[in-house]
Amino acid sequence: MTVHLREIGSFGDVAAEDDAVLDYFLSTNVVGKISDHSAMLVLGRKGTGKTAIVRYFTESEDNSTARSLNLRGYPWNVHSTRIDRGASEIEAYVSSWRYLIAVQLCSLILAHPNSSRSYKSENLHNFLVDNYGDPQPELAKVLRPQKIRFSKVSITPSVMGNQLGGFEFERKSGDYDFGLELNALSSALMDAVCEVAHAIGVDSLGLHFDELDQGLSRLDDKRKHMLIGLVIAARDLKRQYTTDVLAIDPIVYLRTDIWDEIQFSDKNKISETLAIRLNWDGEELKQLVETRLRVKLGKTTNWDEIATTDLMRGSQTKWNHIVSRTFLRPRDVIKFLNQLLVEARQRDDDTVAFENPDIIAARDTYSSYLKSELDDEVRPHWPEWEEALQAITAIGSQNFEKAEFEREFNARRSKSNLLSSQEALAQLYRFSVLGYERRSGYGGSSWAFAYTDPAAGWDSVATRFKVHPGLKEYTKVRESRT
């Protein structure tokens, strides 16, 4: 059946969180691992579909046991003052996150339509109303009170057999009981939550922490410690309170570059046993596009029906040409295809399928988009990174030698830019702005990019580099034939 491009309004919104069809971005293994409670950390670059997965679990018709916690606009400065001075610097925020998770689970179980069947639900309700004025406190308000009050009809935590009369968030610098007391309060809340869940037959409670990178301009040590605290608190509560009949699932969604930057003792163990990495390949991305076409057009449609068969320069198919300019993310493919629609519709003919000139015309706008996406990822780690792009532009070739980059980068490096040319190349590789030439033992060579071959790692002795094809137009470099 012939499909005309003018029948396609768009390929969807670039942002997963704004898309109406949640399952576009889902892969079965990701959903399965979260559903069977074997994962608590979801990692992926910006645009790989983390928020769509959050929506899948929290926006279904029956979502009374799962909730999305969006940290856009979260008061990180307030949270940074809720510090446990009795813990190590790395774990200084674990107790505050444990409490925040416990409070959110309280409000989640109270929102269940059957919660009133358990007398313990009244205790939780009284605690939240006494301290927040509402059984459903906003996420941003959980750590704001100076003091948490207890009453005989709410929660009565104790430390070493001594009942606490209240809890003060504001502490003097020499106070080391903050974490001990706050953990006791969190435990009392969690015990009550589990008792209510058992009484009303709830077998799982899930909190999905999303958009932890929103508003992040620089990843300093304090923010790293707070993120580490969240991951550890989520892991510990899951491990402590999950039983054969009740799963406690605080799920943290985090950008891969941020996860790679933080360091703590259990990181590798969590990465290996409790984390999911969102990765796509070209064929999966094509299936995603074809799924979108079927939904939008109401009929089975494949990519070959909307693109002519003639090859691009270098004997590339149109699809491979497009995918090579992405970071293998749904967001990138959708952006390119939407721009492709704009270009194709400018033709005067009865536009039936994408042609080579449409793809060439779409590359400039797409390349600027890809650079903007990288700004969000790279700047928190390296604010002066555009100086490296300027150096690449000055070189003028997509493939270049290390010595060329050193010369142009050093000529442009500002005083605030603390990275050497070697460190700059390593960072550009880390974010897949460029790849390095990798020689084989048989006289051949290939290009290693972090996004396609993360196991390759950075080669500090590499001497030849290649700019990612998607940035070729933005950096104004000439295409190299070798």
The reported pLDDT for the residue numbered 21 is 42
Angle between helices 94-110 and 221-241 in degrees, nearest 10: 50
pLDDT of residue 20: 40
Looking at residue 28, its pLDDT comes to 54
Model confidence at 22, in pLDDT bands (50, 70, 90)?
low
At residue 15 the predicted structure's pLDDT band, cuts being 50, 70 and 90, is: low
Paired sense of beta strands 66-70 and 147-149, if any: unpaired
Band of residue 110 on the pLDDT scale cut at 50, 70, 90: very high
**Which of 3-7, 55-59, 161-165, 327-331 comes out lowest in average pLDDT?**
3-7
DSSP-derived secondary structure for 178-239? HHHHHHHHHHHHHHHHHHHHHHHT--EEEEEEE-TTTT-S---HHHHHHHHHHHHHHHHHHH
CB-neighbour burial class of residue 328 (10 A; exposed 0-12, middle 13-18, buried 19+): buried
Query: Quick check: 256 pLDDT over 80?
Result: yes
| Residue position matching structure tokens 């050093």 | 410
Cβ contact 225:81 at 8 Å: no
**Residue in the block written with tokens 């610097």:** 89
Residue 254 and residue 211: Cα distance in Å, rounded? 8
Instruction: Tell me how far apart the alpha carbons of residues 436 and 339 are, in angstroms, rounded to a whole number.
Output: 29
Residue with tokens 């974490």, as numbered in its chain: 179
For the cut 70, the answer to whether the pLDDT of residue 23 exceeds it is no
- Residue bearing the bigger pLDDT, 345 or 81: 81
**Enclosing H/E stretch for 251:** strand 247-255
- Please write the tens of the pLDDT for every residue from 421-475: 999 999 999 999 999 999 876 768 999 999 999 888 999 999 999 999 999 999 9
Over residues 408-414, the mean pLDDT reads 98
Of the candidates 460, 393, 454, 371, the one whose C-alpha atom is nearest the C-alpha of residue 421 is: 460
- Going 4 to 7 to 9 to 11, the CA torsion angle's sign is negative
Tell me the domain boundaries of the chain: 28-277
Quickly state the pLDDT bin for 481 (edges 50, 70, 90). Answer: low
Question: Tens digits of per-residue pLDDT, 115-131?
Answer: 999 989 999 999 999 99
Report CA 97 to chain centroid distance, whole Å. Answer: 19
Rounded to an integer, what distance in angstroms lies between the CA atom of residue 328 and that of residue 433?
Answer: 13
**Dist. CA 92–CA 90, nearest whole Å:** 6
Could you read off the pLDDT of 322-347 as tens digits, one per residue?
Answer: 999 999 998 999 999 999 999 998 88
Mean pLDDT of the residues in the chain: 91
- Residue 165 DSSP label: S
Q: What is the pLDDT of residue 2?
A: 62
Strands (E), 32-146: 41-44, 66-70
Quote the CA–CA distance of 312 and 294 in Å, as a whole number.
Answer: 26
Cβ–Cβ under 8 Å, residues 210 and 255: no
Q: Tell the residue number behind the tokens 């000139």, with chain if given.
A: 357
